[in-house]
Amino acid sequence: MSSDSAPVRVPWTIEQQRSAILDFFATVEARSWCSRCCRKFGLPEDMVGDVLSSAYIRVASALDRRTVPFDDMSTIDSASRYAARACENASIDFARAARRRREVPTVNDEMSDIGSDDANLAMRAGRWALEEMRRVVVTLSREGHPCSGCPPEVVLAAALQIINSQLMGDSASISDLMYEALEAVDTDFPGGKSDAARQRKMRCGRCVLGLLRRAVEVIEERS
């Protein structure tokens, strides 16, 4: 009777899973996969870095809040598949935003006290400066842009999502863009447009708009 038996796979801890998942984003394979996703969903090649960054921010934020390990993740391949799905989902969200075309941007009532000048904040800097805005908001976020308690990675990801939407021609209101951005980057964001969602959008929206406003000011100071 043979004594050979299949090796027993030891379950990974949440720390091991997190490390393996995030390591994927630094690989050549990750950038290649994001490039394929961009082609698949009709995004320009220069969006590869944005897809990769957005997916990383979402995943890192979700993993920071997770306290128990995934049941079915105990290999590099399974961790990489999880990260790859996040990249694909990020590219789908960017493509969905690009397809949305609305009429004249307006500010919904629940955002009106922020100020009508913010309704198309990024465009105040001109389309030529939107690429620069992406770089500036990342720098400001790393420097510790002040926020009233919202997770900084969520504020940064939502700001980048709004900038990218405008770069791709989305003319929706800042209120709708804020809902879409926060739903896309924050796994804890309440579904739909409930009272809880509106309150969360007001709180995080102020932080996101504050970051965008500061980015505009930095660009204007340089010009």
| One domain for residues 130 and 93 | no
> Any idea which of 3-12, 39-48, 50-59, 84-93 has the lowest mean pLDDT?
3-12
Identify whether 4 is part of a domain: no
- Contact yes or no for 97/44 (Cβ under 8 A): no
For residue 54, the one-letter residue type is S
- Those residues whose C-beta lies under 8 Å from the C-beta of residue 158, and which sit 6 or more positions away, are 178, 181, 182, 184, 185, 186, 204, 208
| One domain for residues 162 and 197 | yes
Report residue 105's pLDDT band, with 50, 70 and 90 as the boundaries.
very low
- pLDDT given for residue 218 in this prediction: 80
> Any idea which of 38-47, 67-76, 161-170 has the lowest mean pLDDT?
161-170
Query: To the nearest whole number, what is the mean pLDDT of the chain?
Result: 75
- pLDDT given for residue 108 in this prediction: 40
| One domain for residues 130 and 161 | yes
How far is residue 55's CA from residue 25's CA, in Å, rounded to a whole number?
Answer: 9
Helices (H), 101-222: 130-142, 152-167, 174-185, 195-222
- Contact yes or no for 209/150 (Cβ under 8 A): no
- Among all chains, which residue has been given the structure tokens 């006290």? 113
User: Of 43-52, 80-89, 210-219, which has the strongest mean pLDDT?
Assistant: 80-89
More reliable by pLDDT, 127 or 122: 127
Choose among 163, 178, 49, 165: nearest CA to 108. Answer: 178
- pLDDT given for residue 3 in this prediction: 52
For residue 57, the one-letter residue type is I
- pLDDT given for residue 172 in this prediction: 60
Helices (H), 100-149: 130-142
For 74, the domain range is 14-99
| Residue 24: burial class (beta carbons within 10 Å; 0-12, 13-18, 19+) | buried
Identify whether 37 is part of a domain: yes
Phi and psi based region of residue 126 (left: phi greater than 0; alpha: psi -120 to 50; beta: remaining) = left
| One domain for residues 38 and 129 | no
- pLDDT given for residue 207 in this prediction: 80
| One domain for residues 132 and 197 | yes
For residue 146, the one-letter residue type is P
Choose among 120, 88, 76, 103: nearest CA to 216. Answer: 120
Identify whether 33 is part of a domain: yes
- Give the pLDDT confidence of 9-43 residue by residue, as tens digits: 678 999 999 999 999 999 999 999 999 999 999 88
User: Mean pLDDT over residues 201-216, rounded?
Assistant: 78
Q: Which letter does DSSP use for residue 168 in this model?
A: T
pTM > 0.85: no
- pLDDT given for residue 110 in this prediction: 38
User: Mean pLDDT over residues 183-202, rounded?
Assistant: 69
Identify whether 2 is part of a domain: no
